[in-house]
Amino acid sequence: MKIISGTSNLQLAEGIAKGFGTNLVDVDISTFANGEKRIWVKESVRGEKIALVQSLSHPTDEHVIELLLLVDALERLGARHINVIMPWMGYSLQDKVFREGEPIAAKVVANLVSNSYVTRAFLLDLHNSSTPGFFSIPTHHLSAIELFVSYVQSHLSKANVIVASPDFGGLKRARVFAEKIGSELVNVDKHRDLATGKTQAIDVSGDVNGKIVVVFDDVINSGGTVINTAELLKARGAAEVHFFATHGLFADNGKAKIEASVIDSVIVTNSVPTMPSGETPDTSSKIHYLDSSQLFVDALRPWLE
């Protein structure tokens, strides 16, 4: 059994390796002068069951190619099984066609992975629960909901907590979360501009006055929904607003925007690195990360040992 990582999320990969009591496979990943990736797996993996960790986060296209090259290198070295762990599946938000002429990008990525030498894929809290159906290999769709349930039980006053879905599409997910922590559920009505993709929270169906509102979602992209939803809920009398999401992408200077907003806290997992390469250390007092490595260790164990 071997654990190997691309460059996208070494922190999480190291946590998974630690959970198995091993170290990451030594691999050299560099870039040629013309911008092409250069991959060199420096250890023998012949006959081994492999867990390859790679979040398809920014720069997404670069990390997709890196993943495919790593898979090819492992297959050529004689790996027995290659299990790919994609904590964040890039392009997964593009899971349907809104306008004629658009691709289903999530299916394109699924096809790329399925048509390589990957044996099975492990995915975490996809935006659309039907997305694993795009793969033609076995997939395991994991959930981080229990991490958030434990956080609420440890850090927030249960008696005054109410759960909110940031839009109609997330109601089912938020309802499950509300049931697990024994809270009521309200919904935020949101309008999306199909041309720009931008959203605007316009109303709340339910009473949040004086409540600690936990907004539960799958992903934070640029943080616009976080900020807009928090402003609306605070205007309706919410005492506190905390935003929970499995994936924190924080594109377009999202961290700084959230820090300057009225939101009280943002809780995400480390499916995307807490400090991507090239960024300065995270000093945000509002953004907190939960370690998801044990989720993957538990899911992988039957297939690696």
Q: Which carries the bigger pLDDT value, residue 188 or residue 45? A: 45
pLDDT bucket at 195, cuts 50 / 70 / 90: low
The rounded Cα 184 to chain-centroid distance in angstroms is 26
pLDDT at 83 over 80: yes
pLDDT bucket at 197, cuts 50 / 70 / 90: low
pLDDT at 255 over 80: yes
| Same-domain check for residues 152 and 259 | yes
| Same-domain check for residues 137 and 149 | no
pLDDT bucket at 278, cuts 50 / 70 / 90: very low
| Same-domain check for residues 101 and 194 | no
| Same-domain check for residues 96 and 183 | no
Distance CA 139, CA 200 (A): 34
Annotated catalytic residue 2: no
Q: What is the CATH number of the domain that holds 216?
A: 3.40.50.2020
pLDDT at 275 over 70: no
pLDDT at 201 over 70: no
| Same-domain check for residues 261 and 131 | no
Rounded to an integer, the average pLDDT of 115-124 is 97
| Same-domain check for residues 231 and 300 | no
Range of the domain at 198: 145-270
From 190, 211, 234, 255, the catalytic residue: 190
Q: Which carries the bigger pLDDT value, residue 292 or residue 277? A: 292
Sheet of 161-165, strand order: 199-205, 184-192, 161-165, 212-220, 240-248, 265-269, 287-290
Length of the chain measured in residues = 305
| Same-domain check for residues 152 and 174 | yes
Per-residue confidence (pLDDT) for residue 274, from 0 to 100: 76
Inside any domain, residue 151: yes
| Same-domain check for residues 169 and 238 | yes
Total structural domains within the chain: 2
Inside any domain, residue 98: yes
Distance CA 299, CA 295 (A): 6
Sheet of 120-124, strand order: 2-5, 49-53, 81-86, 120-124, 139-142
Per-residue confidence (pLDDT) for residue 135, from 0 to 100: 98
Residues 258/266, Cβ–Cβ less than 8 Å = yes
Within 10 Å of residue 17's Cβ, how many Cβ atoms? 21
Residues 217/263, Cβ–Cβ less than 8 Å = no
Inside any domain, residue 281: no
> Which tens digit of pLDDT belongs to each residue from 212-230?
999 999 999 999 989 999 9
| Same-domain check for residues 298 and 226 | no
Inside any domain, residue 280: no
| Same-domain check for residues 171 and 115 | no
User: Contacts for 256-262 with beta carbons within 8 Å, 24 or more apart?
Assistant: 257/222, 257/223, 257/224, 257/227, 258/223, 258/226, 258/227, 258/284, 258/286, 258/287, 259/284, 259/285, 259/286, 259/287, 261/223, 261/226, 261/227, 261/230, 261/231, 262/227, 262/230, 262/231, 262/234
Per-residue confidence (pLDDT) for residue 189, from 0 to 100: 76
Inside any domain, residue 278: no
| Same-domain check for residues 6 and 129 | yes
| Same-domain check for residues 133 and 16 | yes
Inside any domain, residue 114: yes
